[in-house]
A and B are shown apart, each in its own frame.
Chain A
């Protein structure tokens, strides 16, 4: 039986679950963790971004079969790092979201960026965030909020 962890909770996957089922739909349909969004199903838009062992991945193209035994999956609901909290605070201060549908994925990608680079430049941000589409084009504020969150973090 496949066993991994989602937001620190152990998840046991039964044998009958098709192994090609993407993690996204396990999260959304089976675990009711709907903060992670479906946008494209092809790892093109980033709305489904979660962390596996701290690394940002597109859960829509992460089949069950590829999840390592004991892997730690973190979704927006379980994002508790100081980077994540700083980003959520900055997102609210700057009123980043419009429709908001992509923002869980944006924050998950940004949290992974800040975890390795607290003070990213515009170029760093563009590189780390180019896989996350926002059709409301809140990009100007995403950039500003990532920098703002960086400043909120202890040096």
Chain B
């Protein structure tokens, strides 16, 4: 066998062909995985395919391919939506295949997003629940119709089970009936199953992507390789909003493998035959930045401005009764102010995007979270029509919101490079380094909260005032008209304006600050900060009233059955009220609880902490209860709670982007510390049984963890932490 040869300039087609020949079929498959597989499947299916609607195809080889309209970024949608189809279709799980939908809002809109295609707000299951079941039910009815004709029996005599259609002694697979079923009329509103007949829904199915993701064969944007493809790395300004003043490409243009050095609106792109060449050249590039338009402030300036704003009343987001008067009259008054830093999403796969631009079309390969918005933005950047932008869906290596960027930042950057090099039909892969990703902005905004409340002589809450100061996420985005009303961005106050506690006199107001740091939704959005301030403050009120934190909440939630269901379950499973095992001598141990609803899902978490003599602490255990309506895939609900707790704990313990001189001070995982396995507590998840429509689970596990930890720390030490990330030593 010939050895593999690695030569300079050796990406691209020639090496690919050589490597294929040398390595044999097993490895070549991995290279063009998504494209080649999908195309091969399509080719094999051509002519013998039964595609009753946009959501599934049944091929003569008996495969059922479910076309999933949402991106798989870890939340399990490539398993959950196929389960809906498979259940109504009575397919065998082993025959189910998954394909990511193309960008096509006419067929694949998010039904909660008014005609726009995209993934977010924990909506994938909730908006698709009936749509995907109907798709499966329609196909089943047509298979039954085809079998009835073929066998000359009444449709009522036909059973479908585990992928087999049968009547009396006659049997057929879906594949055998596919061609005939395709000729049946598509039923407009096929009957859906009764819940008692579900075979997958509520019971579960293995993830469709676990095998590929355990073998290194799942294809992410980072892994796309196309003939003649070039790789681009971009020099961005250190300050947000700064522009290129001057650059000198003479040294790097001579580097072997560097093909283009071009200016684009967001910086200077170095385009080369492979990543290392592009990155090394980018690092040597001399760029002078024009800071006139650049952001000039630091986190301390921003927080000072927020505090200044907080001194005055803001725009009312909720006003029940007369909160100020009630607090004035109260026997006791409490006030607390909270500071929240900017947070980076820091998905494992830094942002990246592949673009191939031709005269009349632009093809995009991306873990694509916001198809419709990105189509429009790319089209505008390259002077095409949105329908001329074709997006190939890939796995996303995490997102936590970042890949659905409100300004389509990184996909437009990739398209701008393809346009600027002017080389039609040559694919360009934009790769951000970890540092580029960390410093690119679009953070969870920083916030400042002030909470005031009164307690009457009996320890009941008498008045609640909540003031929030921060940047608006939605202003200037496609969601503005829907979710910014009377100057209040719903995502700035969600979880605060929707406070579930029965308090007659309650006011929430908002100051929206204009700050030049790009901000964006971050897993659970406004709830990331409102759950913290409300749930730690309510805990503080309970302590001031000398009442048990669970009992105190239970009284205030008497009419909130969803909240109560998780509060009671979490408390019971955690052994709330029973003594905790003692720690080592000098250690203090305590429990804390928080309950919060987000995206129509209620979650309560009980945390056990150990605080050591040196004021360091450890989260020992988390008990989580979730009410998400019908839990379609219970094990995935558990996985999302586990992951949400870990993601939230990472931010609670370490998360902070500090702005210094107009840019991010952090750059990589050494200074933007994230949770590691040795810091991950055991998590017990308990699901409240429910027959209500399913609600989201991707985000709601995040909000309660930080306040639950803070409440446990307060129980252990008496210290109320009001600055994130959490530290007992400052």
Q: Chain A: residues with CB nearer than 8 A to chain B?
A: 3, 6, 9-14, 16-18, 20-22, 25-26, 28-42, 44-45, 47, 75-77, 87-88, 91-92, 95-104, 107, 125-127, 129-143
Q: List 23 A-B contacts (CB under 8 A).
A: A3-B3, A12-B3, A12-B6, A25-B276, A29-B275, A31-B4, A34-B222, A35-B30, A35-B217, A36-B216, A41-B434, A42-B668, A42-B670, A77-B215, A92-B206, A95-B210, A95-B639, A100-B218, A101-B397, A103-B213, A130-B678, A133-B674, A136-B398
Q: Taking the complex as formed, is B299 at the interface, i.e. its CB lies under 8 A from any CB of chain A?
A: no
Residues of B close to A13: CB separation below 8 A:
5-6
Q: Is B94 an interface residue (CB 8 A)?
A: no
Given contacts A42-B670, A135-B647, contact A97 B3 (CB under 8 A): no
Which one, A96, A131, A137, contacts B210 given CB within 8 A?
A96
Interface of A is mostly: loop
Which residues in A have their C-beta under 8 angstroms from that of B213?
Answer: 91, 97, 100, 103
Are B346 and A30 touching (Cβ within 8 A)? no
Distance between Cα atoms of A97 and B74 in the complex (Å): 7
Query: B495 an interface residue at 8 Å Cβ cutoff?
Result: no
**A14: which B residues are within 8 A, CB to CB?**
5-8, 10
Residues of chain A within 8 A (CB-CB) of B218 are 100
Q: A139 to B350, alpha carbons, bound, how many Å?
A: 20
Given A26-B6, A104-B216, decide whether A34 and B676 contact each other with a Cβ distance below 8 A: no
Instruction: Please indicate the chain B residues that have their CB under 8 angstroms from the CB of A137 in the complex.
Output: 642-647, 649-650, 675, 680
State which of B31, B212, B214, B346 has its C-beta within 8 Å of the C-beta of A135: B346
A88 to B11: give the CA distance in the assembly, Å: 30
- Count contacts on B: residues with CB < 8 A to the other chain: 84
Report how far A128 CA is from B670 CA in the complex, Å: 18
The interface bits of chain B over 187-228 (1 if a CB of A lies within 8 angstroms of the residue's CB, else 0) are: 000000000000000000011011111111111101101000
- B687: CB under 8 A from chain A? no
* A130-B677 in contact (CB<8A): yes
- Distance of A136 Cα from B646 Cα, bound (Å): 7
- In the complex, the answer to whether B647 meets A136 with C-beta atoms within 8 Å is yes
Q: Could you say which residues of chain B place their CB within 8 Å of the CB of A45?
A: 348, 434, 669
User: How many Å lie between the Cα of A25 and that of B433 in the bound state?
Assistant: 13
Contact partner, A133, options B72, B348, B350, B639, Cβ 8 Å: B348
Report A-chain residues with C-beta under 8 Å of the C-beta of B211: 92
Is B61 at the interface (CB under 8 A from chain A)?
no
Q: How far is the CB of B573 from chain A (nearest CB, A)?
A: 16
Task: Choose one: A16, A28, A101, A103; the contact of B8 (CB below 8 Å).
Answer: A16
B711 contacts partner chain A, Cβ-Cβ < 8 Å: no
> In the complex, A36 Cα to B434 Cα: how many Å?
16
CB B409 to nearest CB in A, in angstroms, measures 20
**Contact present for A98 and B27 (CB under 8 Å):** no
A88 to B74, CA, bound (A): 18
B6 A100 Cβ-Cβ under 8 A: no
Which of B72-92 touch A at CB < 8 Å?
A: 72-76
Of the candidates B398, B643, B677, the one whose C-beta lies within 8 Å of that of A143 is: B677
Contact of A140 among B210, B280, B682 (CB under 8 A): B682
| Interface window among B15-23, B49-57, B481-489, B583-591 | B15-23
| A76 adjacent to B215 (CB under 8 Å) | yes
B683 contacts the other chain (Cβ, under 8 Å)? yes
Q: How far is the CB of B36 from chain A (nearest CB, A)?
A: 13
The answer, yes or no, to whether B665 is at the interface (CB within 8 Å) is no
Apart from A77-B215, A96-B214, A139-B677: 19 A-B pairs, beta carbons within 8 A:
A10-B3, A13-B6, A16-B7, A17-B7, A17-B8, A29-B275, A37-B222, A38-B275, A39-B348, A41-B434, A42-B668, A45-B669, A77-B216, A99-B349, A100-B395, A133-B674, A135-B647, A138-B642, A142-B677
Q: Taking A9-B23, A42-B669, A100-B397 as contacts, is the C-beta distance between A134 and B8 under 8 angstroms?
A: no
Contact A125 B677 (CB under 8 A): yes
B348 touches A126 (CB 8 A): no
A residues in contact with B557, CB < 8 Å: none
**Contact, CB under 8 Å: A139 / B680:** yes
Chain A residue, CB-CB nearest to B635: A95
Which residues of chain B are within 8 angstroms of A47 by Cβ–Cβ distance?
348
Give the interface centre of B231, B676, B682 by most chain A CB atoms within 10 Å. Answer: B676
Check if A76 sits within 8 Å of B348, measured CB to CB. no
Are B8 and A129 touching (Cβ within 8 A)? no
CA distance A137 to B400 in the complex (A): 12
A35 and B216 form a contact (CB under 8 A)? yes
B643 touches A98 (CB 8 A): yes
Q: Please, how many angstroms separate the alpha-carbon atoms of A18 and B283 in the complex?
A: 15
Please give me the residue from chain B that is nearest to A35 by CB atom.
B216
Chain A residue numbers with a CB within 8 Å of B74 are 97-100, 136
The verdict on B718 contacting chain A, using a C-beta distance below 8 Å, is: no
Contact A138 B643 (CB under 8 A): yes
Judge whether B396 is part of the interface by a CB distance below 8 angstroms.
yes
- Given contacts A42-B668, A133-B674, A137-B680, whether A98 and B75 have CB atoms under 8 Å apart is yes
Q: Is the CB of A12 within 8 A of B214?
A: no
Task: Give B668-712 interface residues, CB cut-off 8 Å to A.
Answer: 668-670, 674-678, 680, 682-683
Chain A residue at minimum C-beta to C-beta distance from B636:
A95
Docked Cα-Cα span, A133 to B199, in Å, equals 36
Which residues from chain B contact A44 at a C-beta distance below 8 Å? 668-670
Specify which chain A residues have a CB less than 8 angstroms from the CB of B471 in the assembled complex: none
How long is the Cα–Cα vector from A34 to B636 in the complex, in angstroms? 27
Q: Is the CB of A32 within 8 A of B30?
A: yes
Q: Are A140 and B398 in contact (CB under 8 A)?
A: no
Asked if B348 and A135 sit within 8 Å, CB to CB, the answer is yes
Residues in A with CB closer than 8 Å to B214 are 87-88, 91-92, 96-97, 103, 107
Q: Which residues of B contact A34 (CB under 8 A)?
A: 30-31, 216, 219, 222-223, 225
With both chains docked as a complex, state the minimum distance between the C-beta of B439 and any C-beta of chain A, in angstroms. 14
Q: Chain B residue with minimal CB distance to A99? A: B74
Residues from chain B with a CB closer than 8 A to the CB of A134 are 348, 646, 677
Residues of B within 8 A of A138 (CB): 639, 642-643, 646
> Top 9 A-B pairs ranked by shortest CB distance?
A35-B216, A137-B646, A101-B397, A100-B213, A98-B74, A99-B74, A76-B216, A126-B678, A139-B680
Asked whether A10 lies within 8 Å of B4 as measured between CB atoms, the reply is yes
Q: Please give me the residue from chain A that is nearest to B640 by CB atom.
A: A98
Q: In the assembly, what is the distance between CA of A45 and CA of B5, in Å?
A: 29
CB of B222 within 8 A of CB of A38, answer yes
Q: Give chain B residues whose Cβ lies under 8 Å from the Cβ of A16.
A: 7-9, 256
**A92 CA to B209 CA in the complex, in Å?**
9
B209 touches A100 (CB 8 A): yes
Give Cα distance in the complex from A91 to B285, angstroms.
43
User: Which residues of chain B are near A21, meaning CB under 8 Å?
Assistant: 276
Cα A130 to Cα B388 with chains together (Å): 46
- The residue in chain A whose Cβ has the minimal distance to the Cβ of B75 is A98
Q: Give the chain A neighbours of B1 by CB distance below 8 A.
A: 9-10
- Docked CA distance A36–B222 (Å): 11
Question: For residue A131, which residues in chain B have a CB less than 8 angstroms away from its CB?
Answer: 676
Task: Compute how far the CA of A130 lies from the CA of B676 in the bound complex, rounded to whole angstroms.
Answer: 6
**A9 engages B346 (CB within 8 Å):** no
A101 to chain B, nearest CB (A): 3
Q: What's the least CB distance linking A5 to chain B, in Å?
A: 9
Q: A40 contacts which of B206, B209, B395, B668 (Cβ < 8 Å)? A: B668
Question: Roughly how many angstroms separate A132 CA and B668 CA in the complex, as a whole number?
Answer: 14
Nearest Cβ on chain B to A153's Cβ, whole angstroms: 17
The distance from the CB of B83 to the nearest CB of chain A, in whole angstroms, is 13
B371 at the interface (CB under 8 A from A): no
Residues of A within 8 A of B31 (CB): 32, 34
Taking the closest CB of chain A, its distance from the CB of B179, in whole angstroms, is 34
> CA separation between A96 and B289, bound complex, in Å?
45
In the bound complex, residues from chain A placing their C-beta under 8 Å from that of B636 are: 95
Q: Fill in one digit per residue for B381-405: 1 if any A CB lies within 8 Å of its CB, else 0.
A: 0000000000000011111100000
User: Residue B347 at the A interface, CB < 8 A?
Assistant: yes
Closest residue on chain A to residue B79 by CB atoms: A95
B627 within 8 A of A: no
CB distance from B601 to the nearest CB of A (A): 18
> Taking CB as reference atom, which chain A residue is nearest B433?
A41
CA distance A142 to B7 in the complex (A): 38
